[in-house]
Structure formats: C-alpha cells, structure tokens
Amino acid sequence: QVQLQESGPGLVKPSQTLSLSCTVSGGSVSSGNYYWSWIRQPPGKGLECLGYINYSGSIYYNPSLKSRGTISIDTSKNQFSLKLNSVTAADTAVYYCARGYNSGWYGVWGYWGQGLLVTVSS
C-alpha cells in the first residue's frame, strides 16, 4: 500500500520561497506512470489542485500559481517536491501531496498524505 508523507517548514516569511517534499513509501515515483500532485486547503476552506507531475516528464501547473510554482521528482530519494516563491498570507494552507488513483490518471486522487500546515507570516 503506497503511503505519502509531506515535510517542510511550517512557517514561511512573506516574499520567501515555500519548499515542501513528499516522501513516497510502498511504491516508486518512477514506476507505473502514476501522477503525483500537490493540493492545498486554506484553513476552513475548500481544495485547490496546484499541479501534478509524472516520471515521464509531464507536468501541469494551475494558472492560479501565476508561474510561482515548480514541481519536480527526485527518484534517488523517492520524493517529489513543490517550490512556491514570493509567498503571501494567501498561501497559508494545509498542503497535501497525493497520487493518482490509477496509472495514467491525473484527475482522481486516491492516495493522500496527512497534510502539512504552512503559515505565511513575518
């Protein structure tokens, strides 16, 4: 059973870069043509898919990031990552990493990490 775990700082200052990693266990980020995503949820609000990637190099970013985001895969660590620069208070949220439910699927997110609250504040 694949498991995902987010890691990174819980507090980031405005205008700085938010850097998160998602460590995958019970499976490989480089096999099965699975898509790996970042989804966030501001406190008390709904869900926003920020983007997703697969090992073959296909990457999608939500235009709402306005070119501030970068998603990458590190096969040596069996991780994938999110970098979001020039953060503001509006980026305060629980950040989830997730995997597509089936190989080749990038719409249904079947496996999720527990989430990491990132607060943007000075």
107 binds another protein (CB under 8 A): yes
Of 3, 7, 16, 60, the one binding another protein (CB under 8 A) is 60
Applying CB under 8 A, does 62 fall inside the site for another protein? yes
Asked whether position 117 contacts another protein by CB under 8 A, the answer is no
Q: State the Cα–Cα distance between residues 74 and 86, nearest whole angstrom.
A: 23
Among 71, 98, 118, 120, binds another protein (CB under 8 A): 98
* H helices present in 12-122, as ranges: none
- Taking the least distance from each CB to another protein, the nearer of 56 and 76 is 56
Residue 96 CB, shortest distance to another protein, in Å, is: 5
Nearest to 91 by CA among 29, 8, 22: 8
Angle at 79 between CA 73 and CA 81, to 5 degrees: 60
Residue closer to another protein by CB (options 64, 119) is 64
- Looking at residues 27 to 46 of the shown chain, list those that interact with another protein (rule: CB under 8 A): 46
Among 15, 25, 28, 47, binds another protein (CB under 8 A): 47
Beta bridge partners of 39: 49, 96
Order of strands, sheet of 18-25, starting from the edge strand that comes earlier in the sequence: 3-7, 18-25, 79-84, 69-74
DSSP state for residue 62 in the 8-state scheme: -
Binding site for another protein (CB under 8 A): 46-49, 60, 62-64, 96, 98, 101, 106-110, 112-115
